[in-house]
Amino acid sequence: MEERGAKCYLGFMLFTVNLLSPIEYEARSFDFADVEALEIGQELCLLCKHGYDDVIFTLTPLWSGWREAWSAEEKALIEAGQPVAHREGYELAIPGGRYTLLQTIPAEDWTALRKECYQLAGTSAQGEVYVRFIKEGPLECVMQLLIPAP
C-alpha cells in the first residue's frame, strides 16, 4: 500500500491509500473468535455491503476470507512496488485501487463492527467496505476498514 494523504475525522485518522495490486484471500468462514486465534502476519477479511434499511444503517457480509502471512520474497516485492504472484486457492480479493482507510482496534462483534463502519461510511446511501483483521504481533491485532475512494 502507498499512503497518499490523511485527515482527521470524528477523532480518527483517515488515510487515502493506493493499493498497487490486489490483496488475495482464500475463502473461509468468519467468526469474531477467529481473530484472536490468528498467528502473526495472518489476516481475515470480510467484504460487506453497507447501506440503509429505511433509517437503520445495515451491514451485510458478502464473503469472508483468510490469508497466510506474506513470505520474505513477497514482502520484498511489495516494498519494491512490484505485484505479488497469485497464490493457488486464493480466489477472493481486495482489488487494486484507491481507498479511504481507517485503522483501529478490532471489533468484538457485529454490532461494534457496524458502528465502526457507520463512522467511516457516514451518510453514503450504499456501498461496500472491506474489513481486514491483521495479526501484527503476539498481542497486537488491528482492524482496517477500506472503502473505495471516489
Asked if residues 121 and 129 have their Cβ atoms less than 8 Å apart, the reply is yes
Digit-by-digit pLDDT tens for the chain (150 residues) are: 444 454 444 445 788 999 888 999 999 999 999 998 999 999 999 999 998 887 888 999 999 999 999 999 999 998 888 888 999 999 999 999 999 999 999 999 999 999 999 888 876 678 999 999 999 998 899 999 999 987
pLDDT at 131 (0 to 100): 97
- d(CA 143, CA 106) in angstroms, rounded, equals 5
- The Cα–Cα gap between 104 and 124 comes to 21
Phi, psi of 30 (to 5 degrees): -125, 140
Please tell me the pTM assigned to this model: 0.87
